[in-house]
Amino acid sequence: MSVDASRLRDLTLELVQVESPTGDTAAVARLYARRLEELGMEVELLDEQFPRTPIVVGRLRGDRPGPTIVLNGHLDTVPIPHEAPRIESETIVGRGSADMKGALACAAEAARVVAERGSFPGELVIVAIGLHEAPGGRGEDLTWLLGEGGFTADYAVVCELAGDSFVAAHMGQATVEIEVSRPGMPTHELQTPKGTPHPLLAAGKVIAALEARTAELATSEHANPAELSVGAETYFLGELHGGDFYNRFPTTCRLVGTRRWQPGKQLAEVQEEFDALLAPIAGETGCTIELDLRLVRDSYWIDPEEKLAVALRESYREVAGNEQPLIGMKVVADGAIFHQAGIPTVYHGPVGTGAHADVETMGVPELVRATRVYLALLERLWA
């Protein structure tokens, strides 16, 4: 059986037509579960732990022993308005088409082809989650599934991040919220006692310290288990909130941003580094400085010569006719969660445009290409 481009196009559009911002994916999860059932998969909709974002697990069992292989993706999208979904020639336009409902359509089409071919060893499992996009989601559902949920597999493919390159490593990332405060209530600037700690000025020192540390990191060498550059570590601030009126002496200031780190480093180390930066500023300014550091995803790496990695690179070469360059990335994704659970994992997906942007698109030829790569990979791993 061959890959059906029209089925890929239609399922992608159908999924995109159901709005599914992070934390509210029940409707699209139920739709996707029905489509997998129609392909002959045994489907579980795990909604007890996450009723608003059920986990979809579809299983296609072979007729003899062999490895269990997962195709994984997320059904949630960023909560950014988008124009109405539509088809333009060979392109699907709409929120989630590239990130990453098109990829989940590829996973379903791969399952259809495998089912119709008949005999195969092992098991193909599709896992679709709804708590991916930070800060609304941090992979809590997938983390639960691979932990308390007892799910395991021999190999996993996270169906995003790279199509024409092989992602061998990516950074870890946490969100950062820093609250700078002083005792008391806001007062008129002329009625505030001299020497009262000023949260905005203290926040300025925090900003300067993080900027200086980022500049220092940009020139530093870092140990990397993947032996592949993912770029320099960063401290980044994207929001600053403080004060409520132009001549009132404020009591708080809040800074929000991200921290990204090299593979091999742990969140506890990142916390310690942050604390060492902030403590002197609190002492100098008299303000209280509280840090809320929350993991988005840990770092990830894979040996490009590992069996799964070699199989993917060979499958891509078979389908596309060229080699995948090895790359590292700053962006984080769910391969890190499988990696932490001890399941060998690679990234590969169809390449669209406009993820998180105002206009998001996915080309049907890319959906076909990615599906063919998945099928070639399955054949190699089941051989």
Q: Are residues 149 and 264 in the same domain?
A: no
Among 270, 297, 324, the domain-final residue is 297
Q: Are residues 131 and 258 in the same domain?
A: no
- What's the whole-number mean pLDDT along residues 277-298? 97
Residue 56's H or E segment, with its range, is strand 55-61
Q: Are residues 163 and 176 in the same domain?
A: no
Residue 375's H or E segment, with its range, is helix 364-382
Residue 366 has pLDDT above 80, yes or no: yes
Q: Are residues 113 and 247 in the same domain?
A: no
Q: Are residues 182 and 221 in the same domain?
A: yes
Q: Are residues 199 and 233 in the same domain?
A: yes
For position 1, what pLDDT does the model report?
Answer: 60
Residue 362 has pLDDT above 80, yes or no: yes
Q: Are residues 151 and 215 in the same domain?
A: no
Q: What digits encode the pLDDT tens for the residues 15-35?
A: 999 999 999 999 999 999 999
Q: Are residues 35 and 161 in the same domain?
A: yes
Domain count, the chain: 2
Q: What digits encode the pLDDT tens for the residues 41-51?
A: 999 999 999 99
Q: Are residues 136 and 271 in the same domain?
A: no
| DSSP at 226 | T
Structure tokens belonging to residue 95: 């929120």
**pLDDT interval class at 221 (50, 70, 90):** low
**pLDDT interval class at 223 (50, 70, 90):** low
Q: What digits encode the pLDDT tens for the residues 172-200?
A: 999 999 999 999 999 999 999 999 999 99
Among 297, 323, 341, the domain-final residue is 297
Please report the DSSP string for 76-137 in residue order: -B-S---PPPEEETTEEESTTIIIIIHHHHHHHHHHHHHHHH---EEEEEEEEES--STTT-
Please report the DSSP string for 293-311 in residue order: EEEEE--EE--TTSHHHHH
CATH of the domain at 20: 3.40.630.10
Q: What digits encode the pLDDT tens for the residues 140-162?
A: 999 999 999 999 999 999 999 88
Q: Are residues 130 and 21 in the same domain?
A: yes
The alpha carbon of residue 26 and the mean position of all alpha carbons in its chain are separated, in whole angstroms, by: 19
Omega before 81 within 30 of 0, i.e. cis: no
CATH of the domain at 231: 3.30.70.360
- What's the whole-number mean pLDDT along residues 114-143? 94
Q: Are residues 144 and 16 in the same domain?
A: yes
Strands 345-347 and 155-158 come out as: parallel
* Of the listed ranges 29-33, 135-139, 146-150, 234-238, the one predicted with least confidence: 135-139
Strands 155-158 and 64-74 come out as: parallel
For position 230, what pLDDT does the model report?
Answer: 85
Q: Which domain holds residue 91?
A: 5-170+299-382
Residue 226 has pLDDT above 90, yes or no: no
Structure tokens belonging to residue 383: 């051989």
Q: Beta strands of 115-197 (E only): which ranges?
A: 121-129, 155-158, 166-170, 172-181, 187-188
Among 297, 321, 353, the domain-final residue is 297
Q: What is the pTM of this model?
A: 0.92
Strands 252-261 and 234-242 come out as: antiparallel
Q: Are residues 89 and 177 in the same domain?
A: no
pLDDT > 90: percent of the chain: 90
Mean pLDDT of the chain: 94
> Is residue 353 classed as helix, strand or coil in its secondary structure?
strand
